[in-house]
Amino acid sequence: MPRKAKQGMPRAATLHDVAAKVGVSAITVSRALNSPDLVSKNLREQILAIVDELGYVPNRSARTLVSSRSYTVAVLIPSLSNTVFIDTLAGISEVLDPRGYQILIGNTAYDDEKEERLLRTHLSHKPDGVLLTGIRQRPQTLAHLAKLGIPAVHMMELDPTDACLCVGFSQEAAGRQITEHLLARGYRRIAFFGARLDPRVMQRLDGYRKALQAAGCHAAELEYLNPRPSKIGLGVEMLDTLRREHPDCDAVFCCNDDLALGVLTGCQRTGIAVPAQLAVAGFNDLEGAAWATPALTSVRTPRYRVGFEAATLLLQLMEGEATPALRQLDLGFELQLRGSS
């Protein structure tokens, strides 16, 4: 006997309700909605009319349970307040939305353990695929995904060991090239401002070091690393410290534009001429960079495309059987040279 429905408890229309009203079986309604070709035109139209009338919305849980396809993709990003990842998300949505995938966003807050926990939580939704930021995940975590047959694509970095599928660009090369640009302009006492200190910032730092070492200009005391989140205010602060400790410094490469805009603000407030007294370079080329005074030299990163291509690749893995030939998709970057350097 069917379980007694609680009185007054509202219930959403089901396939059976629609089917009963049309006078067919539930599976026919299911087919009318999911494989329209299998149902005669006449009947299909009747069904769609009733679906509309009853406001029927399919129950994803039931579908997921029986079909072992959830049409859900888990996306783990370190922050929602960083435009970089929002742009990435936009690229992901662009690909997955029209294909009917639901995106489950996980905000790891730059915390490896939280990422681990989030991934586990998200697994309870049986995602068909996973998009991860960076390649720092524990091997056993990735192995677990592999064992479950859930494909994963890593974004924003490339993997030198080629162990995981990556879509991104070389953070190190970007850091190196922007530093080489400063060297080419004649600056020799070039500082590095790093905040947050996530793996990508550290890779940019690596690039910075290599460029300076190659030019014989590296000076460890000009590396300013601060674990706090990157903010304009922090850039102002760090500039202050730099000027006090190393007034001879002639250029700063900031690990991102927020910090760099703070440096520009600080220069403007304390009357430091940019770039005459101090050149400034940022990273990511956010909207504000081009409008700053002077306009900020930065590295334009292809984050929208990273999301787009990563989602496209994941889609292939989720739907096709072909394993991609190219495991490291390098989308490059572009120096944006402007007035600040």
Partner DNA sequence: TGCTGCAATGTTAACGTTAACAGTGGAGGG
Partner DNA sequence: CCCTCCACTGTTAACGTTAACATTGCAGCA
Give the torsion through C-alpha atoms of 306, 310, 312, 316, to 10 deg: 160
| Residue 114 C-beta: closest distance to a second copy, Å | 10
User: Pattern of binders to a second copy over 38-67, x per CB under 8 A?
Assistant: -----------------x-xxxxxx-xx--
Say whether residue 25 binds DNA (CB under 7 A). yes
Closest CB to a second copy among residues 66, 220: 66
Record the tokens describing residue 70, joined without a space: 């959830």
User: Pattern of binders to a second copy over 211-250, x per CB under 8 A?
Assistant: --------------------xxx--x--------------
Which stretch, 32-40, 151-159, 285-293, 331-339, contacts DNA (CB under 7 A)?
32-40
Closest CB to a second copy among residues 141, 328: 141
Say whether residue 15 binds DNA (CB under 7 A). yes
Sign of torsion, CA 205 210 211 212? positive
Say whether residue 2 binds DNA (CB under 7 A). yes
Say whether residue 80 binds a second copy (CB under 8 A). yes
| Residue 288 C-beta: closest distance to a second copy, Å | 6
Interface residue with DNA among 8, 10, 67, 325 (CB under 7 A) is 67
Interface residue with DNA among 21, 31, 196, 200 (CB under 7 A) is 31
Which stretch, 10-18, 72-80, 228-236, 260-268, contacts DNA (CB under 7 A)?
10-18
Say whether residue 149 binds a second copy (CB under 8 A). yes
Binding-site ranges for DNA (CB under 7 A): 1-3, 11-12, 14-16, 23-28, 30-31, 33-34, 37-40, 43, 56, 58-59, 62-63, 65-68
